[in-house]
Structure 1
Amino acid sequence: MSMVITLNPLLKFSAGQWNTLVNFGLALCGLAGQDCAGTNTSLLEAAPSLPSKQRKAWLRQRILELFKYVNQPPRWLQSPAWPIGDAGPLVFLGQFPVADYFHDEAAVYVFHDPAKDAFTTFVQRC
């Protein structure tokens, strides 16, 4: 269910902006055939025709609306791997470190799919 795709170079955000805005909306979600906005279109296709600065602001706001979290966004140990469900990105509930279990530093990430009332967890190590 989770996917990781490369950052789309069409629009750029400064470093440190919330994991570069969740790797630019997981490269605008629909670029890998995923339905990010619940409409079978990618964010880039759904973006209105606006001047570059306004389009960037619209995309930033839309990404922040779609990638929800309870208290704070995930701190990825590797590339962002935000799970996308049938209704769009899942809600991030939290993460916890896993010390002294794996050889490397590790963290468990917990997400919720409100549409299915299901949970997704995975581990990242570095």
Structure 2
Amino acid sequence: MQLHQILVTARNQILLDDNFTKTENFSTVCYGVLGCFNKNEFFDLIYRPISLKPQSPDNIDVTYSLYTAENKFKPDILRANMTREDIANTHFDPKKPSKFIIHGYGGSFDDMEWMGVCTT
């Protein structure tokens, strides 16, 4: 069996196992300011043979570690759903320059030893 056939078979089996219907394959999910996503937008037979709708940001619970000169060793934890009041209670100062270092979606700060160098 060729790789193409294996990937298509695996994808179809997962779709059947998860009780997706043909109409649901083309359904869209929207997450406020992040926009709307179609389940099939990012399908690629080789690099992403199984394309599911993204989970809600609240379900994923992505966090951001804020380090400043005042808190080099104990970060403030930021989340996408924070209010202005929540952010005002952190060390973030919008008047100062900010730099964002993104390590990638699949890992965490603890997985990336080089990230610690960036906080000093």
Larger radius of gyration, structure 1 or 2?
A: 2
More strand by share: 1
Confirm or deny a common fold (TM above 0.5): no
Normalised to the residue count of structure 1, the TM-score between the two structures is 0.23
- Asked which structure has the greater RCO (Cα within 8 Å, sep 6+), the reply is 1
Relative to total residues, which structure has the larger helix share, 1 or 2? 2
